[in-house]
Structure 1
Amino acid sequence: MRYLPYLFLLILSSCSYTAKVTDGATAIDRKQYDVAVDMLKREFKKAKSRKEKGEIALNLGIALRETEDDAAAIDWFQTAYDNNAGPPALREKAAALKRLERYEEAIQVYTDLGFEIGSKYEFRKDISGAELAMAYKEAEEAGKPRPFTVAATDFNTRQADYAPVVFEDRLIFTSDRSASSGEETFKWTGRGFTDLFIVDPQARGASVDAFDARLNTEDHEGTPAFSADGAYMIFTRCASPAKKEDAWCGLYRSERVGEGWGPAKQLPFIKNGINYMHPALSADGKRLYFSALMEDGWGGYDIYVSNLQDSGEWGDPILMNRAINTQGNEQFPSLDGDTLYFASDGLEGLGGLDIFRTYPMANGRFSAPKNLGPPVNSGADDFGFTILRREGSGLEATMTGYFSSARSGGAGSDDIYAYTRRVIPPPPEDPTPIVYRNVLDVTVVEKIYEDPADPKSRVLGVKPVPNATIIASIGEQSRTVNTNAEGILSLVLVDDQNYSFRAEREEYLVAEGRFSSRDLPRDPEAPEQRYELELELEKIFRNQEVVLKNIYYDFEESFIREDAQPTLNELTALLNRNPDIRIELGSHTDCRGPKAYNQNLSQARAQAAVDYLINQGVAADRLTARGYGKDQPIEDCLCDRCTEEEHQRNRRTTFRILD
């Protein structure tokens, strides 16, 4: 996972950089990775047991990974595995090897891991991506021409420089270099917060300047998009709505005022509690593309488009289709006319985010996304593709521009690279008639627990569930089929249909999923496309406590806060999918305070959760409320020596399936 200066994949909590940290594990928990490194190295030297050494080494590897020192992280992940940290340590080692483009070693580790956890399925995409990278390398060695040549720019620093955008022949990019605004240190990276910077990329040794003092603040700013006439810009800002509240990333608009820029205003469709980022504007200014993590998405971050209304406001976001969005992350969209470039870790790639290209065809559908391949894409994250200019025409045309990458060998954690693209003549046309075919592989999986009898134990991965029942529906029509021995149901898709799937198996909770075949590509260069959908069945563990995350209460209060409602809504959906189960909702306090008071408070909190579910339509006779007070802590610490994090983990809301 990349850190927040990439402006994706996380919610930045204000406590990450305001609360005091005294040990490495707490630093990791608060995402203060730069702080954690030295702490964990000292703690490892003092550790006595193998278990303790394994836990510290794994955390140290993660801290080095997040501060972009994969070469050192690999050794610590191996040390963690040698000290009983288990398969998660090897998984991390394999991913680091892949980012460093040591593909053969990565494939071997992934293969060994599959045998160890009992699921070769878990690492199939990691292995296929490494094999693809090796195939590219073999093609290059065989003399096959590459369309791209790349070189690092001379204005990269030891910090993060990324997401270049061309504006009036100059380059605007995002960076946490030392010249960024504010005096606070972002303890994830040990560097500053991100700002926008400007440089003339064609002038060797040109100075890099802050883009605009009125837009750069002590919060994170980055990834801008400019209207074609330069009259306004839309950019990403990640800020807390109030002190000691979580920071969320939103899209902001600023108008050109003389040689500068006016106050930034958040776009009207932005909702609290959702991360929006990476805007891109069409040349006519009527479409705004961006990346967001929303409940209606296909999984991870997805690319959305908003259309400009007659009122001058941007309309509600529209989710782009499954030809582009996957169950992984799609981010950093950019436009060249009607051609869309974007980064994805869900499509087959060389490792991390890869840059893909798609465009609308004559039939109105987008073409199948094409991986730009090396040297643009690498084993690390590659993203933020932009075009500076074209020269020539036809097969002699060249295109120049920039992109960003976290590949090893650069000046800093992320660097900006210049590229030149030459058109390679296409191969002769195949006279064979084209047959278009879209196939969906629906795989039913279940979690692999470190202790198969304990759902609270560490999850090692997932494995297919053979012979599971799937009810596949298209509109009012449905049919019931079973998965094969590999847990897969393969369907040839009918165009422009909405599919829904329900997976069932005895002693498992029902799982549901959906897929849309609307506007899937009919691309002559890739007439057959395969898509994947995972349905994850949860094994029923009766009378086993499951902690509900993100349910918190105000001090000495029992009412359900707004931030707890999404988790309870998910529980409501689970109960609706499984109408035959009854559950107990339990509430626990920490160890502080009188026993009777804690007992009454916990009972009131459990009852409040039950009442919320009843108001959502769940039958009351399926629900039981029970307050446990402070009698069942999950943290093994003396009350007056527990950390605030341990107290918080003891203050939990749980459910258990009764029958």
Structure 2
Amino acid sequence: MRHLCLLLLLCCSISCTYTAKITDGATAVDRKQYDVAVPMLEREYKKAKTRKAKGEIALNLGKSYVETSNDEAAIEWYQKAYDNNAGPEALREKAAALKRLERYDEAIQVYTDAGFEIGSKYEFRKDISGAELAQKWLAEEAEGKEREFTVAPAGFNSRQADYAPVPFEERLVFTSDRAAAAGEEKFNWTGRGFTDLFVTDLEGSSSVDAFDSRVNTPDHEGTPAFSADGQEMIFTRCSSPGKREDAYCGLYRSERVGEGWGPASLLSFVRPGANYMHPALSEDGQQLFFSALLEDGWGGYDIYLSNRQEDGSWSDPILMNRAINTQGNEQFPTLDADTLYFSSDGLEGMGGLDIFRTWPTNNGRYAAPKNLKMPVNSGADDFAFSVVRRQGSGLDHTTTGYFSSNRPGGEGSDDIYMYTKKVLPPPPPDPTPVVYKNILDVTVVEKIYEDPTDNSSRILGVKPVPNATIIASIGDQSRTVNTDEEGRLSLVLVDDQNYQFRAERDEYLADEGSFSSRNLPKDPEAPEQRYELELELDKIFRNQEIVLKNIYYDYNESFIRADAQPTLNNLTTILERNPTIRIEMGSHTDCRGKPGYNQELSQARAQAAVDYLVEQGVDRARLEAKGYGEESPIESCICERCTEDQHQRNRRTTFRILE
């Protein structure tokens, strides 16, 4: 499911170009065409003449096999990559694949080796603790303790991807890229078709039909949510606005028309250039939960909530709190009455996405998320939990439903599993008084560069910064403290407060972060909760060029395009946080065109970037503009033989911190 659901229904924060011609494996990987990449890379590996080339190709092969759901092959290629000097990244990815296959002892050892190699045990601490927790749960399973859940694969799985089943009337609607999906174009990420909605009976028989043809299109459709009366459907559709343009996922609404469905319209709060997916409607139809990758999130995909307005429209999304959302990915929310199920790879789990549940408590907060453990969760990605029916009462009560997983042994890349849940006898009451405590660990970290003297060298991970200064603020009150030798500051949180943090150290750029303790859980079953916040300090490399990504100009033009503004806005934030530094904005052209013209054009572009920063409030005295023309390429190719990608890398905008 890493290929199709973790990012999900595709493209996510990255572009998917469907029509570009691919001539080599590295380009195929860069453009997310992993199924296309595999045979190309295997041929290239056999022909490679240096260890460096073999290592790079093997690393791409490992990634391609992960994204096409073959972790066993990925492990082999990541080991080959490491053996050919690909570095600790190969170990990191090998360990993650081992963890997904539940080979936890091996995963822990490889994570340990990777931490030793980069000089930071901090980097892999959560990966190791999750593997150790999974080992504990596996040991409990081996003891033969009574299980709450029993699971079995559904009878309608195909050799393709099948996932996210939801009950609708007396049927089950799910998402699949099986051969019967609409459209004839192949999706080069997976080598299969685009996803559509399909329907089967609630018992999960092998009989499957395509959902309404007015909903299914040649684009990606999936993960629907239905209103209780069956008259409204909200679903995910991922499409590109034009040929060779980035595809993004949005939430669409359709109304029932007779036995079919009417035209779908995009929900009003969906912004262009962002990804929204996995809708879930409350029983009364007044709340919509969904997953999105937005700038205001806590990191990765987060769960949001929107309320229905009096006119039937939906309110602006509300980011759910840090009890649920993490710096990882939270996806696939589903509802059973007031119980919220969702999947996360940021909360402690067995590997990949694990399924958790939470519910509103008497004090209006949500309970601390509970991991559903084995056999629902596994080392792989487990997601999209749904409840279909209940029977009996008391200890004879059972619940049946479905969830999705890409665990080994299934029919396809993602499969649907049926579960039965029974009620276990409650544990004896604990007479100990409950004391609630929420603790925040703020850790100051810095990047580990492959070459410690070069900020353009490969980043291997992060490590703690000891004895850094943290300024912690609540409203108008603040205090200044130093981190310990582990780069950490731990504090007990006060309820319903917004915390602001600023981290500083000499010869580093300061960083800032925030944390809200509003509505954190007070759960008698888990009275003490720990949260984490990382503040990352960038070491100052004076007079070294830093390339700004996503700064593009129209042909022969120098004005700042709208798609360049977010990058320059981030640079504005850095300058605001570090008011004593001065920078040079540099602009470079490629080698095509006359040198004099290129010099003038690059100077105009650098000046346009400076003017934009001044418009954002940066003091002009802190800024210099310098056009380099074509005199400082980073790709040393003969101009007539440079590829378009090489020309693009030479055509760059940079900044450097001045003495």
TM-score for the superposition, normalised by structure 2:
0.98
Q: Which amino acid aligns with 2:87?
A: G
Q: In the alignment, which residue of structure 2 is the partner of 1:213?
A: 213
Q: In the alignment, which residue of structure 2 is the partner of 1:501?
A: 501
1:241 matched to 2:241 = yes
Q: In the alignment, which residue of structure 2 is the partner of 1:72?
A: 73
Q: In the alignment, which residue of structure 1 is the partner of 2:558?
A: 558
1:165 matched to 2:199 = no
Whether the aligned pair in 2 keeps the contact of 1:12 and 1:246 (CA below 8 Å) is: no
Whether the aligned pair in 1 keeps the contact of 2:15 and 2:31 (CA below 8 Å) is: no
Q: In the alignment, which residue of structure 2 is the partner of 1:130?
A: 131
SS in 1 for 2:364: coil
Q: Which runs of 5+ in 2 are unaligned?
A: none
Q: Deviations over 1:213-243 (max 9, x none)?
A: 1111111111110011011100011112233
1:53 matched to 2:33 = no
Q: Which amino acid aligns with 2:263?
A: P
Deviation at 1:245, TM superposition (A): 2.0
Q: In the alignment, which residue of structure 2 is the partner of 1:107?
A: 108
Q: Which amino acid aligns with 2:532?
A: E
Deviation at 1:495, TM superposition (A): 0.3
Q: Which runs of 5+ in 1 are unaligned?
A: none
Q: In structure 2, what is the Cα distance between the partners aligned to 1:473 and 1:426?
A: 43
Q: In structure 1, what is the Cα distance between the partners aligned to 2:44 and 2:157?
A: 34
Whether the aligned pair in 2 keeps the contact of 1:587 and 1:652 (CA below 8 Å) is: yes
Q: In structure 2, what is the Cα distance between the partners aligned to 1:369 and 1:336?
A: 15
- Aligned alpha-carbon RMSD (Å): 1.2
SS in 2 for 1:16: coil
Q: In structure 2, what is the Cα distance between the partners aligned to 1:148 and 1:314?
A: 36
Deviation at 1:203, TM superposition (A): 5.7
Q: In the alignment, which residue of structure 2 is the partner of 1:349?
A: 349
Q: In structure 2, what is the Cα distance between the partners aligned to 1:60 and 1:332?
A: 29
Q: In structure 2, what is the Cα distance between the partners aligned to 1:245 and 1:625?
A: 32
Deviation at 1:2, TM superposition (A): 2.1
Task: Tell me whether 485-494 or 544-553 shows the greater mean CA deviation.
Answer: 544-553
Q: In the alignment, which residue of structure 1 is the partner of 2:538?
A: 538
Deviation at 1:395, TM superposition (A): 2.0
SS in 1 for 2:238: strand
Q: Which amino acid aligns with 1:44?
A: Y
Whether the aligned pair in 1 keeps the contact of 2:405 and 2:416 (CA below 8 Å) is: yes
Q: In the alignment, which residue of structure 2 is the partner of 1:369?
A: 369
Q: Which amino acid aligns with 1:161?
A: D
Whether the aligned pair in 2 keeps the contact of 1:11 and 1:246 (CA below 8 Å) is: no
Q: In the alignment, which residue of structure 2 is the partner of 1:147?
A: 148
Whether the aligned pair in 2 keeps the contact of 1:9 and 1:301 (CA below 8 Å) is: no
Task: Tell me whether 21-30 or 136-145 shows the greater mean CA deviation.
Answer: 136-145
Q: Which amino acid aligns with 2:523?
A: D
Task: Tell me whether 2-11 or 500-509 shows the greater mean CA deviation.
Answer: 2-11
Q: In the alignment, which residue of structure 1 is the partner of 2:302?
A: 302
Q: In structure 2, what is the Cα distance between the partners aligned to 1:201 and 1:11?
A: 31
Q: In structure 1, what is the Cα distance between the partners aligned to 2:68 and 2:637?
A: 31
SS in 2 for 1:608: helix
Q: In structure 2, what is the Cα distance between the partners aligned to 1:226 and 1:374?
A: 29
Q: In the alignment, which residue of structure 2 is the partner of 1:646?
A: 646
Q: In the alignment, which residue of structure 2 is the partner of 1:514?
A: 514
Deviation at 1:16, TM superposition (A): 2.3
Deviation at 1:582, TM superposition (A): 0.6
Whether the aligned pair in 2 keeps the contact of 1:236 and 1:279 (CA below 8 Å) is: yes
Whether the aligned pair in 2 keeps the contact of 1:585 and 1:610 (CA below 8 Å) is: yes
Deviation at 1:394, TM superposition (A): 1.7
Q: Which amino acid aligns with 2:614?
A: I
Q: In structure 2, what is the Cα distance between the partners aligned to 1:508 and 1:128?
A: 30
Q: In the alignment, which residue of structure 2 is the partner of 1:586?
A: 586
Q: Which amino acid aligns with 1:230?
A: G
Q: In structure 2, what is the Cα distance between the partners aligned to 1:140 and 1:3?
A: 30
Q: Which amino acid aligns with 1:138?
A: A
Q: Deviations over 1:309-341 (max 9, x none)?
A: 112110010010110011111110000000000
Q: In structure 2, what is the Cα distance between the partners aligned to 1:333 and 1:658?
A: 48
1:86 matched to 2:87 = yes
Pairing of 1:190-229 with structure 2 (within 5 A): 190-202=191-203, 204-205=205-206, 207-229=207-229
Q: Deviations over 1:415-438 (max 9, x none)?
A: 000001111112101001110000
Task: Tell me whether 418-427 or 440-449 shows the greater mean CA deviation.
Answer: 418-427
Q: In structure 2, what is the Cα distance between the partners aligned to 1:379 and 1:14?
A: 28
Percent pairwise identity:
76
1:22 matched to 2:23 = yes
Cα 1:4–1:639 change in 2 (3 A) is farther
Q: Which amino acid aligns with 1:95?
A: A
Whether the aligned pair in 1 keeps the contact of 2:155 and 2:204 (CA below 8 Å) is: no
Q: Which amino acid aligns with 2:185?
A: E
Deviation at 1:11, TM superposition (A): 3.6
Q: In the alignment, which residue of structure 2 is the partner of 1:568?
A: 568
Cα 1:646–1:310 change in 2 (3 A) is same
Whether the aligned pair in 2 keeps the contact of 1:588 and 1:653 (CA below 8 Å) is: yes
Q: In the alignment, which residue of structure 1 is the partner of 2:394?
A: 394
Q: In structure 2, what is the Cα distance between the partners aligned to 1:499 and 1:5?
A: 34
SS in 2 for 1:533: strand
Deviation at 1:172, TM superposition (A): 0.8
Whether the aligned pair in 2 keeps the contact of 1:16 and 1:187 (CA below 8 Å) is: no
Q: In structure 2, what is the Cα distance between the partners aligned to 1:201 and 1:314?
A: 31
SS in 1 for 2:524: coil
Q: In structure 2, what is the Cα distance between the partners aligned to 1:568 and 1:12?
A: 19
Task: Tell me whether 234-243 or 38-47 shows the greater mean CA deviation.
Answer: 234-243
Q: Deviations over 1:131-188 (max 9, x none)?
A: 1110001111122222111111111111111111111121111111111111111111
TM-score for the superposition, normalised by structure 1:
0.98
SS in 2 for 1:432: coil
